[in-house]
Amino acid sequence: MKILHLLYESRGDYYGIGGVGERAYQIYGFLKKRHGITILCKKYPGANNSTIEGIRHIYAGAESKSLTRTLLSYAYHAAGYVKQHGHEYDIIIEEFSPATPTFLHSYTKTPVILQIQGYTGRLYFNKYNPLFATVLCLLEQFRPRAYRNFIFIDEHTRSRFPLSGNKPTAIIPNGVSDELLDMPCQEGEYVLYLGRIDIYGKGLDILLAAYSEFARSVPGMGLVIAGDGKEMRKFRAMVDDLPEDIRKNIKLTGWLSGRTKQEILSNASFLVLPSRHEVQGIAVLEAMAAGKAVVASDLPELSYILGSNAGICFKSGDPMSLARAITDMAESTERSQMGANGRAWVKDLPWNKVAEKFEAFLHTVAGRRSPK
């Protein structure tokens, strides 16, 4: 098949890449030998159309350091690309975001799958002005209803979107690498955060406040923050403003991948995910695959952590609740068992199996057409 994926984030993106983009790269890493894959992603300063790791990249929109302008420009130019070239593909996957309203269903005859990885709802009002937040909420509620084919990453996300009729729908979760599942379990002396540097969405302000409280009672355990994003400079300044006795035990590694990322996971004591908003976090699944216990927000999207007895949760948005949870985990005698429980829960989610399920659904929707 010739596959076109409208993906608003990509590797090297000025604004960073999160689980949405990482999922696509992992899946297409397995499918690129059998299919022609094009990723249509938003343009950022310095981005040029190219083939990266066997995957064709086309960057659409305006070069801007304004995220709102970048996303709206991307939506407009991506729609234009599909109008002109959509017929050249067997299947189109559109990554759903209310901030990129392309309305592909209205002007292309190529089968389109809307992939929905999360739900934000009224949390938009905590991040944007009321007018923009209202528009985003309305688009999130009503835009998916016009599409015919869907991929969700879990049943909880699926339940957030009331869809009429019996529309073709697949539940395809995120995955983990075989290397993490095979990695020996070790006990380190630091708490690990792994993910995009998004201060509000990922709750990194909560994490710094909680760690400052935690470090006073458990001074020997450090905090490693592995990730990058457009707010890195602002976040570094927040870390620099902490007292010296706290700041000296915090390490910012930047974005990690491959063996370096595996080593950071392997040597951590446990993972912390303080998000105010989250989907089925790949970082959580990776920590579980590495045999690490998890401390996470009590968001419904993360309920599988408690369900699998792979960690503990704290009250989302509450630094003192997080501080207590980190302390409890650091002192827990059950941490290793939680890590083992998590590894058992994700053992059937290697990326190659996820990719096979993804590929099968694409064939179903495309009518099993022969490659062009």
What would the pLDDT profile of 337-367 be if each residue is shown by its tens digit? 999 999 999 999 999 999 999 999 999 999 8
Burial grade of 215 (CB within 10 A; 0-12, 13-18, 19 or more): buried
Measured CA to CA in angstroms, residue 372 lies from 70, 82, 105 at distances of 32, 17, 22
Residues pairing with 191 in the sheet: 223, 270
Same domain, 354 and 329: no
Task: Identify the DSSP state of 309.
Answer: T
In a domain, 371, yes or no: no
CB atoms < 10 A from the CB of 21, how many? 20
Instruction: Report d(CA 171, CA 158) in Å as an integer.
Output: 8
The three-state secondary structure class of 310 is coil
Please indicate, yes or no, if residue 272 is contained in any of the structural domains: yes
Structure tokens at 141: 């509620």
Q: Quick one: 10 and 118 in the same domain?
A: yes
Whole-number Å distance between alpha carbons of 305 and 116: 21
Q: 3-class SS at 251?
A: strand
- Phi and psi, residue 199, nearest 5°: -60, -50
- Number of domains present in the structure of the chain: 2
The answer to whether residue 200 sits within a structural domain is yes
- If one counts every other C-beta atom within 10 angstroms of the C-beta of residue 40, the result is 27
For residue 93, what is the DSSP state? E
Residue 313 and residue 286 in one domain: yes
Same domain, 359 and 339: no
Q: What is the DSSP letter of 241?
A: T
From the number of C-beta atoms within 10 Å of its C-beta (0-12, 13-18, 19+), residue 63 rates as middle
Does one domain contain both 221 and 303? yes
Structure letter (DSSP) for residue 249: T
Residue type at 225 in one-letter notation: I
Residue 171 tokens read as 């539940």
Q: Which tokens sit at 76?
A: 């407009």
The separation between the first and the last C-alpha atoms of the chain, rounded to the nearest angstrom, is: 7
Residues 166, 187, single domain; the answer is no
Q: 190 and 273: one domain? A: yes
Residue 369 has a pLDDT of: 47
The CATH number given to whatever domain includes residue 280 is 3.40.50.2000
Residues 166 and 55 in one domain: yes
pLDDT grade for 185, boundaries at 50, 70 and 90: confident
Q: Are strands 55-60 and 91-95 parallel, antiparallel or unpaired?
A: unpaired
Spatial CA neighbour of 9 closest among 55, 65, 86, 70: 70
Asked, for residue 134, whether it belongs to a domain, the answer is yes
Specify whether the backbone of 258 is left (phi greater than 0), alpha (psi in -120 to 50) or beta: left
Of the listed ranges 8-22, 197-211, 306-320, the one predicted with least confidence: 8-22
Structural domain contains residue 212 = yes
Residue 337 forms part of a structural domain: yes
Tokens of 237: 């300044």
Please choose, from the candidates 5, 49, 48, 1, the residue with its C-alpha nearest in 3D space to the C-alpha of residue 26.
Answer: 5
- Residue 138 one-letter amino acid: L
Using the predicted structure, report yes or no on whether residue 60 has a pLDDT greater than 70.
Answer: yes
The pLDDT of residue 164: 74
Asked if residue 141 belongs to a domain, the reply is: yes
pLDDT more than 90, % of the chain: 70
Residue closest to 213 by CA, chosen among 289, 124, 314 = 314
Q: What is the mean pLDDT of the chain?
A: 91
State the residue range of the domain holding 148. 2-175+350-366
Same domain, residue pair 200 and 128: no
150 & 162 share domain: yes
pLDDT in tens, 217-260: 888 899 999 998 888 999 999 999 999 999 999 999 998 888 89
pLDDT range class, residue 304, cuts 50, 70, 90: very high
User: For residue 182, with 0-12 CB atoms within 10 Å meaning exposed, 13-18 middle and 19 or more buried, which class applies?
Assistant: exposed
Are residues 212 and 110 located together in one domain of the fold?
Answer: no
What pTM did the predictor assign? 0.87
> Is residue 372 a part of any domain in this protein?
no
Domain identity same for 206 and 143: no
